[in-house]
Chains A and B, each alone.
Chain A
Amino acid sequence: MASTERASPLAAWPARFAAASASATDFTIRELPFTTQINVRGNAADAAFAAATQAVLGHGLPAAANTWAGTAERAALWLGPDEWLVVAPDGMNESIVAALRNSLDGQHAAVTDVSANRTVIEIAGSHARAVLGKGCPLDLHARAFSPPQTAQSLLAKAQILLQCADIRPAFRLYVRISFAPYVAEWLIDAATEFAASRGLDAQRIAARLA
């Protein structure tokens, strides 16, 4: 019988993430698999819609474009002027969808479980901005991109939803399932220069050029 056990797209990667995080100076990378993700659409200017979503989520949906509201564990990310992504820990999708649909009953709104659409890769540390900057056209300087900032953009030609989750900084990259191994590979490669042994690498290159 075929296995029905679920697997994240990066199920085979924890060892490589751990190795990349251990070898780098102040850079970490890990997957946050099976994050609950729910797409919510409705009219932000409608007080009834705002109240119904607030009642379930415990925080408002962010009105400002490209921001998030809530906590690191439970947040709502702006996707468009009438669209948000509600994120929560693994296993909460069915209960949140049911609660939102119940609360929004009769309203012109849509609630869709999209948890299987993307996985989340988190990178953190002082080199995280430099790593992202190698493949992303956004202004990632701290004064332009700090919490509660989010953005939808491209990283090395792959679509990403980027959340600055912490001032440390920590970034969460919401990546399509089929792109996740590619993005993970790209991030590890981009972080190579921040490996603690980079001095040795420089010596090797210098020796080769001599």
Chain B
Amino acid sequence: MLRIGCPWCGEREEIEFSYGGQAHLAYPQDPHALTDEQWAQYLFMRDNPKGLLRERWVHSHGCRRWFNVERHTVTHEITAIYKPGEPPPARRA
């Protein structure tokens, strides 16, 4: 069970949240200009690090807002939380 700090509501239990996958994937400017391989790359391919991953979460049973979390995929340690539109914080060494 994680405790996640919603940027608006503060720390709540994981059951109130839903996971939204990797963050900062920009929608292609012109999808029609992409090859099938490039489109598949955008749609399906995700980073899968053994370490820090920036990902989206939504406080689905709370304020229903999306935000970003930087989480260690091995330890589950949350190293940063920031609102949509905010730049990700500098990555720790």
Interface residues of B (CB under 8 A from A): 8-10, 12-13, 15-16, 61-65
Contact = CB atoms under 8 A, between A and B. Distances in A.
For the complex of A and B, list the 6 residue pairs with the smallest distance between their C-beta atoms, beginning with the closest. Answer: A137-B13, A80-B63, A152-B62, A65-B8, A154-B61, A159-B61
B8 A154 contact: no
Contacts, number: 36
A63 to B, nearest CB: 11
B8 A153 contact: no
A76 B9 CA distance: 17
The interface size bin for chain A is 10 to 19
Interface centre among A81, A138, A153 (most CB of B within 10 A): A153
Contacts of A151: 9, 62
Contacts of A159: 61
Given A65-B9, A66-B9, A81-B8, A152 B65 contact: no
A81 B12 contact: no
A175 interface: no
Given A79-B63, A151-B9, 10 more contacts: A65-B9, A65-B63, A66-B8, A80-B64, A81-B8, A81-B63, A137-B16, A153-B12, A153-B16, A153-B61
Interface of A: 65-66, 79-81, 137-138, 151-154, 159
17 contacts: A65-B9, A65-B10, A66-B9, A79-B63, A80-B63, A80-B64, A81-B63, A81-B65, A137-B15, A137-B16, A138-B12, A151-B9, A152-B9, A152-B61, A152-B63, A153-B61, A153-B62
Nearest to A160: B61
Contact of A137 (B9, B10, B12, B65): B12
A21 B16 CA distance: 30
Contacts of B10: 65-66
A80 B8 contact: yes
B45 to A, nearest CB: 33
Nearest to A81: B8
A77 B79 CA distance: 31
